[in-house]
């Protein structure tokens, strides 16, 4: 399903509002009298707002216009300094007012702002509309037969690129959400692999699958410790390559944790905490979604994407606490808790990803419960072996509306994961800042001191949705990454700091 976008710099007339059933309007806070005179149905809207006794700024209001079509209009008066997170949440409400009518066309008008603000506000509504109508997995006998949204019409603004980035980000987010919502019996590593292979063919990416036998040859003992619990040997690491036409600037490596189901293994999760663990592959889906969006935008740098796909099963062959396993770089790891499997599969994947010395590695993982305890589920945690990047990460989170907050990574955090029998413990035995200790553990496997950002996706699932995303599964990370890579130009910033 694709939604068509029509743009016009002109503002609509009252007659145009009469001819279409669904409109979204954004005006500035404290609308001046002169502007009300120019707003189609301005007097009707002004009176409606007055009857509500001074509704708040940045609040979505809904009314049906007094015309034969009873045109539904959702509107808001927005302050210039509204945060992106709040704006996206507002955009979701403005869109939501129309959804039960299953509109085929949605019209957006933004009036009374300068060009830059108009684009920002329009973009938020387009994003929210695309997120709302995304096709997501549903296994119900009774199917919804209503026609999906076909067209978005934008008035008051027209971008030469047709909001290409917004559409690409949405495609990446929808892919991440769709994959993470698929039940584990419909998305085992085998299915996942087939799906990525198909996508790679369609998008002309170079595709390689590093299966169990090859992983054994490469002595990836940390990854294999996790995958050995599966009856089917379908686990492995997918390596995708995107190369731009002509000479590329540098290489970005995206890495993702793809545990298609996490039972906890021998350190079995209790039912309450196991439910939902089909989403433990979201990190890989966000890496893939970001890779997809950037390749759709035909970026001028090279990209590698590494997806670590496995199940964390219980069974006679499953790895156990106190096992000592050797990762591909020779590090001997003392297993403490088999539920800390994410860092095990990522360890060998990071070694592989850093071998070719990319300019930057970003990895995504639904890694630790302690990150959720620290931040809740409306923020994700970020970590880096370059402190100078931390403010850039916060800024990208704030500007994109997918908010992140950094944690420290000082050496002394290693005390808690010291092992008497091996080089390192997989995790600490005692409760502590596991999200930081996990990152310290991962950092060992980032070779050649490659600049590295790790995203612990505590915002993977937020009850009632998050910002513009209406589903509990958020697909968090694609929009943040596009801002970080394209707007903040993190690849250039890393280069400067070298």
Residue 157 vs 436, nearer CB to Zn ion: 436
447 is catalytic: no
Q: Which of 153, 343, 386, 403 is catalytic?
A: 343
Residue 354: alpha-carbon gap to chain centroid: 23
The token pair at 461 is: 């699932």
Is 386 a residue of the active site? no
**Residues with Cβ < 8 Å from 44, sequence gap 6 or more?**
63, 65, 66
Instruction: Give the contact letters, 210-249, x = binds to Zn ion (CB under 5 A), - = no.
Output: ----------------------------------------
CA 323 to mean position of chain CA atoms: 34
**Angle 84-99/115-132 helices, nearest 10 degrees?**
50
Shortest distance, CB of residue 32 to Zn ion, whole angstroms?
Answer: 56
| Window of 88-96, 259-267, 284-292, 368-376 that interacts with Zn ion by CB under 5 A | 259-267
CA–CA dist 247, 40 (Å, integer):
51
Cα Rg, the chain, nearest whole Å: 24
Of the pair 17, 260, the CB lying nearest Zn ion is at 260
Q: For residue 387, what are the CA distances in angstroms to 202, 436, 452?
A: 39, 14, 10
**Could you tell me if 363 and 283 are in contact, meaning their C-beta atoms sit under 8 angstroms apart?**
yes
The least CB distance from residue 103 to Zn ion, in Å, is 42
Residue with smaller CB distance to Zn ion, 304 or 339: 339
Longest dimension (CA), the chain: 79
Closest contact distance (angstroms) between CB of 205 and Zn ion is 29
Shortest separation between residue 366's beta carbon and Zn ion, angstroms = 9
Active-site residue identified among 269, 355, 493, 495? 269
Residue with tokens 């050496």: 411
Question: Nearest residue to Zn ion, using CB?
Answer: 339
304 contacts Zn ion (rule: CB under 5 A): no
Point out which span in 161-169, 220-228, 257-265, 295-303 binds Zn ion (CB under 5 A).
257-265
Interacting residues with Zn ion between 314 and 373 (CB under 5 A): 339, 341
Residue 196, CB-side half-sphere exposure with 13 Å CA sphere? 33
What whole-number distance in Å separates Cα of residue 154 and Cα of residue 167? 14
Cα distance between residue 219 and residue 216, in whole Å: 5
206-211 and 236-242 strand pairing: antiparallel
Please state the closest distance from residue 412 (CB atom) to Zn ion, in A.
Answer: 26
The smaller minimum CB distance to Zn ion, of residues 339 and 483, is found at 339
> Binder to Zn ion among 262, 279, 304, 334 (CB under 5 A)?
262
Nearer CB in complex with Zn ion: 321/406: 321
Positions that interact with Zn ion (CB under 5 A): 262, 339, 341
Residues classed as catalytic: 269, 343
């Amino acid at each position: 399903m694709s939604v068509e976008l029509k743009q016009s710099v002109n503002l609509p007339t009252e007659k145009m509002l009469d001819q279409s059933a669904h409109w979204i309007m954004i005006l500035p806070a404290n609308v001046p009298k002169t502007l009300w005179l120019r707003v189609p149905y301005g007097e009707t809207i002004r009176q409606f707002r007055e009857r509500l006794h001074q509704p708040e700024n940045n609040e979505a209001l809904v009314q049906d216009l007094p015309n034969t079509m009873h045109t539904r209009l959702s509107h808001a008066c927005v302050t210039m300094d509204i945060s992106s997170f709040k704006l996206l949440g507002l955009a979701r409400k403005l869109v939501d007012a129309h959804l039960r009518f299953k509109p085929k066309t949605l019209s957006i008008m933004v009036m009374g702002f300068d060009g830059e603000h108009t684009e920002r506000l329009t973009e938020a509504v387009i994003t929210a509309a695309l997120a709302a109508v995304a096709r997501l997995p549903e296994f119900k006998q009774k199917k919804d037969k209503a026609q999906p949204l076909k067209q978005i019409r934008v008035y008051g603004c027209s971008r030469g690129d047709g909001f290409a980035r917004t559409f690409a980000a949405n495609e990446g987010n929808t892919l991440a959400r769709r994959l993470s919502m698929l039940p584990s019996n419909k998305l085992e590593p085998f299915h996942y692999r087939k799906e990525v292979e198909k996508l790679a063919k369609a998008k002309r990416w170079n595709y390689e699958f590093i299966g169990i036998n090859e992983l054994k040859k490469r002595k990836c003992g940390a990854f294999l410790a996790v995958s050995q619990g599966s009856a089917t040997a379908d686990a492995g690491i997918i390596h995708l390559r995107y190369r731009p036409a002509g000479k590329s600037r540098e290489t970005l490596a995206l890495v993702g944790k793809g545990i298609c189901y996490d039972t906890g293994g021998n350190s079995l999760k209790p039912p309450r905490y196991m439910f939902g663990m089909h989403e433990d592959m979201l990190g890989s889906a966000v890496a893939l979604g970001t890779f997809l969006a950037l390749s759709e935008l035909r970026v001028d740098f090279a990209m590698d994407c590494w997806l670590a796909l496995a199940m964390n099963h219980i069974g006679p062959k499953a790895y156990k606490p106190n096992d000592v396993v050797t990762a591909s770089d020779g590090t001997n790891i003392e297993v403490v808790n088999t539920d800390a499997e994410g860092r095990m599969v990522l360890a060998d994947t990071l070694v592989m990803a850093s071998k070719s010395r990319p300019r930057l590695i970003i990895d995504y993982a639904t890694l630790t419960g302690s990150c959720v305890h620290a931040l809740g589920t409306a923020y994700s945690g970020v970590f880096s072996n370059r402190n100078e990047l931390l403010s850039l990460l916060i800024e990208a989170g704030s500007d994109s509306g997918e908010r992140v907050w950094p944690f420290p990574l000082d050496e002394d955090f290693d005390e808690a994961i010291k092992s008497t029998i091996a080089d390192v413990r997989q995790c600490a035995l005692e409760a502590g800042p596991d999200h930081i200790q996990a990152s310290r553990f991962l950092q060992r496997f980032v070779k050649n001191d490659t600049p590295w950002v790790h995203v612990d996706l505590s915002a993977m699932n937020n009850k009632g949705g998050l910002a513009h995303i209406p589903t509990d599964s958020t697909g968090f990370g694609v929009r943040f990454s596009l801002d970080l890579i394209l707007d903040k130009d993190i690849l250039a910033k890393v280069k400067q700091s070298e």
